[in-house]
Amino acid sequence: MNLTSPTQVKAWCIENEFHPNKTLGQNFLIDRNALVSIVDAGLEGVAPGARVLEIGPGMGVLTEEMLNRGYEVVAVEKDPVLAARLAESLGNPPKLTVIAGDALDVLVHPDRFPELNPPPQTPSGPSASFSCMVSNLPYQAGTRILLELVQQRGLQAMTVLVQTEVADRLAAKEGSKTRGLAGVWAQLDYDVKVVRKVAASCFWPRPAIGSSVVTLVRHDRNTGLTEEERDLFHRLTKQAFEHRRKQLGSIFKDLIQSTARAEELSNDDWINLVKGLLNEDA
């Protein structure tokens, strides 16, 4: 079966009485050029044979390409019908492990999924057992999944296909109107770059809006932050972006004297605020 053929994908769905689920954000990639560009970006610098995490494999278009290039793939699929068919449809490849379950459950409670088979638990979380992640993330849960992963800090690199508006928010710098909590948290430990846009016509069913390929590569600029500093960073930024139209001085009253708004601050600005507040309490 050609997974980039709309005709063949639709025929399989009809034959198996499968209806793509909008609630799960099921939009299958059917464009070969987009497929190759995603996998090229995601596996750049990663040696064949490495263990790759894929979330939301769907019909297996990315899965098949990565397996063909010699990588080991652990695919987490929430839809029980797609999870049950994936391995067999690809010829039961020995380098493929399919986990039927919600990705957020898998990431937060890896002990409940023995097939994940991670190395001994580390402070970086279960994602540390993978070299990278390459995924066409489900629209509805994509941001939540990414935020869980960036906070675990286990993956060296992630390449994801997400809605363009989500991609723009993840990569937005200070002063941008699109800057939000997701970008601030992602950029604390990752350099974020929008690689390319992918038109809505490259998916079936066709979504209402376009998507973009985004890479997140872990940096070491903030490895010296303590857990206390990280916790305060997340609490402050979360509260600030919940009231993004207000000045920081109005949100935090006597704690912070500033006329700036949340999106105007860089991550370094937030870190300096955090350290200043903790030094005052010391």
Instruction: Using the predicted structure, report yes or no on whether residue 121 has a pLDDT greater than 60.
Output: no
User: Would you list the domain boundaries of the chain?
Assistant: 6-218, 227-281
CATH number belonging to domain 6-218: 3.40.50.150
Burial of 2 (0-12, 13-18, 19+ CB in 10 A): exposed
List, for residues 224-246, the tens digit of each pLDDT value. Answer: 999 999 999 999 999 999 999 99
pTM above 0.85, yes or no: yes
User: Are the C-beta atoms of 74 and 99 separated by less than 8 Å?
Assistant: yes
H runs (alpha helix) in 27-127: 32-43, 61-68, 80-89, 103-108
The reported pLDDT for the residue numbered 18 is 84
- Counting residues of the chain whose pLDDT is more than 90, the rounded percentage is 74
Give, in degrees to the nearest 5, the angle at Cα 69 between 195 and 129: 75
Q: Is it the case that residue 118 has pLDDT exceeding 70?
A: no
Span 17-36, pLDDT tens digits? 788 887 777 889 999 999 99
Confidence of residue 58 (pLDDT cuts 50, 70, 90): very high
Length of the chain as a residue count: 282
Topology (CATH) of 227-281? Helicase, Ruva Protein; domain 3 (1.10.8)
The CA distances from residue 112 to 36, 102, 115, 124, in Å, are 33, 11, 9, 18
Q: In the structure encoding, which two tokens stand for residue 179, read together?
A: 């800057």
Please state, in angstroms and rounded to a whole number, the distance separating the CA atoms of residues 167 and 221: 22
